[in-house]
Amino acid sequence: PKTDIVFLKVHKSASSTVMNILFRFGETHNLTFAFPQGGGFQLYYPHHFLARFVQGFSPLSPRRFNILCHHMRFLQPEVQKVVPSSAVYFSILRNPVQLMESSFVYYKGASAFSRVRSLEEFLSQPHRYYNPASSDRHYARNLMTFDFGFNPDGEESPERVQLMLKAIEASFDFLLISEYFDESMVLLKEMLCWDLDSVVSFPLNIRDSSTKSPLAESVVEKLKAWNRLDWEIYTHFNRTFWERIDRDIGRERMRREVRALRQRQAELARTCLQGTGSVAPKDIKDSSLRPLQHGGARILGYNLKQGLDQELERTCRRLVTPELQYSSLLYKRQFPPPPS
């Protein structure tokens, strides 16, 4: 199994669920994480990543960390200073139309969105509300492009787009697609030589469907045009994703693997969870399992069954522990506070 991993956690793309998988794998195999200085949750995002943002990094010592997976704006020469050269690099993408709809609800406080009532209103005159000089502009345009380290207001010529795609391909071993999450997990398992249980998950940091609304076709076209660079990244890597599956796994085996993964997840859900799945934040009984609420989104969570035996309780709890709580727990384990 591969244990040296860089995961570029792209915003609003099922990346919290992937992070939970990496946290569990790292904890089980006693791996080290490249944590943000002081145990924060982001590597000084939205600045480009620098090695010195990592707790315990020193240019003088050759210490390397196994897993780098907290939010960052990608900059490979700096990333290479903190992980072994053998590290596998991957990320996950999401259709930019849904990505922006999600971003609009989640980052409603961002300067570009704060003065509009709806996404339609924003898209009717985006340049009226969007300021390329504002420090939080990336939430409102080409968010994936930005997370990969490029300029979200960059030129959209075919040459420029090709350079960007080539640069991503040169840095990353593979990219997953959140719309095909189960297929992505099977591919992840193959690429990292992991077993099925390592890539099992419950969806984390998802919002209540009551805050989601379908978008009119005219809005969808405007969204694609406004997020043109993201759209180019997504369509290109969606295509190469399926090419890789055809080449390395095959559709028939992929169907079998996906079925096995879903059966295992359903089995764990029956074992671990009260009720059938996620619940509203106010209904989460254990406050340590309550996810951070943000913007206009209602982020769902889970209730564990009572009376599970110790080992099982631990397994189940890890599956549903929200990102911030899990990150803090692992940070304290890796950097124990001095005895008082």
What angle do the packed helices 96-106 and 217-226 form, to 10 degrees? 90
Contact assessment for residue 198 and residue 25, using Cβ atoms and an 8 Å cutoff: yes
* Per-residue pLDDT at 207: 80
Q: Is the pLDDT confidence value at 165 over 90? A: yes
Stretch 239-256: mean pLDDT, rounded? 98
Strand (E) positions, 161-249?
A: 174-177
DSSP string, 147-184: HTTS-TT----HHHHHHHHHHHHHH-SEEEEGGGHHHH
Helix H or strand E encompassing 142: none
Shortest CA distance to 257 belongs to which of 265, 43, 64, 282?
265
CA–CA dist 89, 49 (Å, integer): 15
| Phi, then psi, of 19 in degrees rounded to 5 | -60, -40
Q: How many CB atoms lie within 10 A of CB 281?
A: 14
Stretch 146-156: mean pLDDT, rounded? 97
* Per-residue pLDDT at 61: 85
Tokens 């099977």 identify what position?
186
Q: How many CB atoms lie within 10 A of CB 18?
A: 26
Q: How confident is the model at residue 166 (pLDDT cuts 50, 70, 90)?
A: very high
CA–CA dist 138, 152 (Å, integer): 7
CA–CA dist 326, 289 (Å, integer): 9
At position 54, the amino acid (one-letter code) is V
What is the distance, to the nearest Å, from the Cα of residue 124 to the centroid of all Cα atoms in its chain? 29
Q: pLDDT above 70 covers what percent of the chain? A: 100
Q: Which residues contact 153 (CB under 8 A, 6 or more apart)?
A: 132, 137, 141, 142
Stretch 238-253: mean pLDDT, rounded? 98
Rg of the Cα atoms in the chain: 20
Stretch 34-61: mean pLDDT, rounded? 95
Q: How many CB atoms lie within 10 A of CB 16?
A: 21
* Per-residue pLDDT at 292: 87
Shortest CA distance to 50 belongs to which of 19, 71, 72, 35?
72
* Per-residue pLDDT at 208: 77
Query: 189 to each of 141, 186, 198, 250, 294, how far by Cα in Å?
Result: 32, 5, 8, 15, 31
* Per-residue pLDDT at 277: 86
Give the domains, in start order, of the chain with CATH numbers: 5-333 (3.40.50.300)
pLDDT tens, residue by residue, 172-199: 999 999 999 999 999 999 999 999 999 9
What is the distance, to the nearest Å, from the Cα of residue 228 to the centroid of all Cα atoms in its chain? 21
* Per-residue pLDDT at 299: 87
CA–CA dist 11, 294 (Å, integer): 13
Contact assessment for residue 136 and residue 41, using Cβ atoms and an 8 Å cutoff: no
Q: Is the pLDDT confidence value at 254 over 90? A: yes
- The CA-based angle 61-66-69, given to 5 degrees, is 115
* Per-residue pLDDT at 20: 97
Stretch 329-335: mean pLDDT, rounded? 97
* Per-residue pLDDT at 206: 86
**Helix runs in 181-275, H state only:** 181-192, 217-226, 228-248, 251-272
Strand (E) positions, the chain?
A: 5-8, 67-68, 88-93, 174-177
pLDDT tens, residue by residue, 278-311: 999 999 999 899 998 877 778 899 999 999 999 9
CA–CA dist 329, 327 (Å, integer): 5
Stretch 204-215: mean pLDDT, rounded? 80
Q: How confident is the model at residue 120 (pLDDT cuts 50, 70, 90)?
A: very high
- The pTM score is 0.95
Task: Please state, rounded to an integer, the average pLDDT across all residues of the chain.
Answer: 95
CA–CA dist 11, 136 (Å, integer): 13
Is the dihedral angle over the CA atoms 223, 73, 19, 206 positive or is it negative? negative
